[in-house]
Structure 1
Amino acid sequence: MFSLAILLVLGSGFLHSVWNLYTKRSMNKNIFLWFCQLVAIIIFLPWTIMEWDSASITSTGWWIILASMFLHGLYIKLLAAVYTVGDLSQVYPIMRGTSPLLVPLLGVSLLHEKLTALGWIGVITIVVGIALLSNLNFKRRESPSLKAPLLALAVGVCIASYIVVDKVALNYVSAVVLNEATNVGNLLVLSWAAFTSQGIRKELSVNWRIILLGGLLAPAGYLLFLFALSLGPLAQLAPMREIGTVFGTIMGIFILREKQGRRRLISSILITMGIITLGIWG
């Protein structure tokens, strides 16, 4: 079962990087993400209705679901902001690199999960690789502002937080119901910025095909991860999902033509080594 969980996590990481690429290439991030959430809600609504059983949710369960919706909403709002000011290959590694550091610590301390010594080496290797990949060089001619890296760090904290909360939420609702709830929360959070922005019709006319695809890929990728969490421990699976960092970096280099390709590819190999170490011996 754990091998299946690994495959689900790797698939989740790939889908996540693809829809982040689409988000970066969109014109207005708030509008694009708002439409993606709307599409996702419509697509997964029948499945959600089939699995919905409100009678089985306790008051504690409702509070945990609301906490998950809040954290996902904060995440999606910050994501729109960070892709407005930063490059994919600059901010994506920082966002995804924060989670492998925080989630195992939270999983071990709060959920009483365990990592072996090699598991911790794997986590550290992933973090070191992502730190190198981030290339946080703040020379004036390269990065005059700390806004993008700090926003990316905030996104990473949100990711680590909602993963832990969602792991607990799965004790009360199915992955499909939880995913739909967070999609609704995301839609509500983005609504004000989307409706007050200029260019709703333009974004839809230019990117409607990508919006439809993004509305499917974004929740599908996270559903794969939620299913994986039901099959294995959080402390091991969450860092492995960050292989999406490698995919995202490759896309940034070869599709968006971003710089420093050699260094970032080497760093990606280091990340992969850490992921393998964590997955096999963690």
Structure 2
Amino acid sequence: MFNVAILLVIGSGFLHSVWNLYTKRSINKNVFLWFCQLVAVFVFLPWTIVQWEGVHILSTGGWIIVASMLLHGLYVILLAKTYSIGDLSQVYPIMRGTSPLLVPLLGVTLLNEKLSVLGWIGVLFIVIGIVLISNITFNRTESSTLRVPLLALAVGVCIASYIVVDKVALSYYPAVVINEATNIGNLFVLSWATFNSKAIRTELRVNWRIILLGGIIAPASYLLFLYAASLAPLAQLAPMREIGTVFGTIMGIFILREKQGRRRLITSILITTGVILLGIWG
């Protein structure tokens, strides 16, 4: 089952990098993400209804699902803001790099999971590789330089937090129910910015095909991860999902034509090495 979990996590990382690429290339990030959440709610609603039998919201699990919705909502707001002012090649590695650092610590301390010495070395390799690929520079003449990585860091903290909460939520609800709840929450928190943007028609006219695709692959990527988390320890799987950073780097080089291709590919190899160490000997 662990091998299946690994494949699910790799697929999750790839899909996640794809929809983040779409988000970065969108015109208005709030509007684009709002439409993606709307599509996701309708697409996954029938499956959620099928899985609803036996679900009890008014219990301890109800508070957990509320916490998940709040964390996902904060995440999507910060994500829209981060991509509005930052480059994909800079902020994506920071956002994804924070999670491998925090989630194993939370998984070990709160969920009684364990990592071997090689597993922790793998986590270290992943984090070092992502820091190097971020290429953060602090230019005193640009006041927004520090703001961008700090926003990306905040997104990463949200990711680490909701992953742990959702792992606990899996003890109460099917993965698709958790996913649908967060889709609805995200739709709600993005509504104010979306309806006040005056960019709804433009975004829909230009990107309606990508919105339909993004509305499917964004929640699908996280569903894959949730199902993987039900098969194997979170402390091992969460860092492995950050292989999506490698996919994002390749997309940045060949699709967005970003610079420093060789340097970023080398650091991607370091990340992959960490993933292998974590996956096999973690």
Report the TM range for the smaller structure's normalisation: over 0.9
Partner of 1:263: 263
Partner of 2:200: 200
Task: Write the letter of the residue equivalent to 1:231.
Answer: L
Q: CA deviation at 1:270?
A: 0.2
Task: Write the letter of the residue equivalent to 1:262.
Answer: R
| Secondary structure in 1 matching 2:258 | coil
Q: CA deviation at 1:147?
A: 1.2
1:123 matched to 2:120? The reply is no
Identity %: 78
Partner of 1:155: 155
Q: 1:4-49: per-residue Cα shift (whole Å, max 9, x none)?
A: 0000000000000000000000000000000000000000000000
Asked if the contact 2:16/2:221 (under 8 Å) is kept, the reply is yes
Cα distance change, pair 54–66 in 1 and its aligned pair in 2 (3 A) = farther
Task: Write the letter of the residue equivalent to 1:103.
Answer: V
Task: Write the letter of the residue equivalent to 2:208.
Answer: W
Q: CA deviation at 1:144?
A: 5.2
Asked if the contact 1:175/1:226 (under 8 Å) is kept, the reply is yes
Q: 1:138-189: per-residue Cα shift (whole Å, max 9, x none)?
A: 1357885211101000000000000000000000000000000000000001
Q: Relative to structure 2, which stretch is displaced further, 78-87 or 258-267?
A: 258-267
Q: 1:205-224: per-residue Cα shift (whole Å, max 9, x none)?
A: 00000000000000111000
Separation in structure 2 between the aligned mates of residue 140 and residue 259 of structure 1, nearest angstrom? 22
Cα distance change, pair 55–120 in 1 and its aligned pair in 2 (3 A) = closer
Task: Write the letter of the residue equivalent to 1:138.
Answer: F
Separation in structure 2 between the aligned mates of residue 263 and residue 85 of structure 1, nearest angstrom? 24
Task: Write the letter of the residue equivalent to 2:111.
Answer: L
Q: Relative to structure 2, which stretch is displaced further, 256-265 or 113-122?
A: 256-265
| Secondary structure in 1 matching 2:171 | coil
Structure 1, unmatched stretches of 5+, are none
Separation in structure 2 between the aligned mates of residue 258 and residue 32 of structure 1, nearest angstrom? 23
| Secondary structure in 2 matching 1:223 | helix
Cα distance change, pair 146–273 in 1 and its aligned pair in 2 (3 A) = same
Q: CA deviation at 1:249?
A: 1.2
Normalised TM-score (structure 1): 0.98
For residues 243-254 of structure 1, the aligned pairs below 5 Å read 243-254=243-254
Separation in structure 2 between the aligned mates of residue 15 and residue 33 of structure 1, nearest angstrom? 15
Normalised TM-score (structure 2): 0.98
1:218 matched to 2:247? The reply is no
Structure 2, unmatched stretches of 5+, are none
Partner of 1:33: 33
| Secondary structure in 1 matching 2:173 | coil
| Secondary structure in 1 matching 2:36 | helix
Asked if the contact 2:55/2:173 (under 8 Å) is kept, the reply is no
Partner of 1:278: 278
Asked if the contact 1:64/1:169 (under 8 Å) is kept, the reply is yes
**Count of aligned residue pairs for this structure pair:** 282
